[in-house]
Chains A and B, each alone.
Chain A
Amino acid sequence: QVQLKESGPGLVQPSQTLSLTCTVSGFSLTSYSVHWVRQHSGKSLEWMGRMWSDGDTSYNSAFTSRLSISRDTSKSQVFLKMNSLQTEDTGTYYCAREASGGLPGDWGQGVMVTVSS
């Protein structure tokens, strides 16, 4: 069945770079796109960007200058890198496979990231 699992450091220092990995199974990254979405504690959801099945990327304009999404299809992994982290970047980060229509459908369990010194 379709599974996605986020992994990465739970704690990142301010001004440093966040690196997260989304490892998928049950589908091919060359057939489905993968979204990244984050959620501040108790707050709403924020779409960050998308790795398309053809390898192209789209980003939320709020993150464009500091966000990068890439992939390794041989390992079924999608990567998120975001630099210049601030305390406001603390939250839970999710990856999600596209559903019919392209929107986020099947989600991973999320990984909590705290930005603190």
Chain B
Amino acid sequence: DIQMTQSPPSLSASLGDKVTITCQASQNINKYIAWYQQKPGKAPGLLIHYTSTLVSGIPSRFSGSGSGRDYSFSISNVESEDIASYYCLQYDNSPTFGSGTKLEIK
């Protein structure tokens, strides 16, 4: 099974900052990576798929990039509504999630 190493486990940012989360796969996943946002007590919501394709309705301050084994997810101009946990998911093979990153506001 493909392992996804996600970092950092937590992040503290000021409003308006840019933050970046990374995921490294244990093998090439051919850009089949997605990013989810989960707020407390809620189900995850899909933000980005196929590395960088934004889901309809998701603000453009969310972005993704990468290739091969290494991928990143960024939020520019962090807003208070972005307080959540974020997870990567590889779906090149039997799907596996990263361990998550909890975003807090300073």
A residues whose Cβ falls under 8 Å from a Cβ of B: 35, 43-47, 58, 60-62, 94, 96, 99-105, 107-110
Contact = CB atoms under 8 A, between A and B. Distances in A.
A103 B87 contact: no
A47 B43 contact: no
Contacts, number: 56
Interface residues of B, number: 22
Most chain B beta-carbon contacts within 10 A, residue among A102, A103, A107, A110: A103
Which A-B residue pairs are the 10 nearest by beta carbons?
A107-B43, A47-B95, A45-B97, A103-B91, A44-B99, A44-B100, A103-B34, A101-B49, A105-B46, A44-B97
Nearest to B90: A103
B28 to A, nearest CB: 17
Most chain A beta-carbon contacts within 10 A, residue among B44, B49, B95: B95
A35 B91 CA distance: 12
Most chain A beta-carbon contacts within 10 A, residue among B42, B43, B100: B43
Interface of B: 1, 32, 34, 36, 42-46, 49-50, 55, 87, 89, 91, 94-100
B91 A102 contact: yes
B46 A103 contact: yes
Given A100-B49, A101-B50, A103-B89, A44 B98 contact: yes
Given A44-B99, A44-B100, A47-B95, A107 B44 contact: yes
Given A44-B87, A45-B44, A110-B43, A103 B95 contact: yes
Contacts of A105: 46
A60 B95 CA distance: 8
B100 A60 contact: no
A47 B97 contact: yes
Given A99-B49, A100-B49, A103-B49, A94 B43 contact: yes
A108 B99 CA distance: 21
Nearest to A92: B43
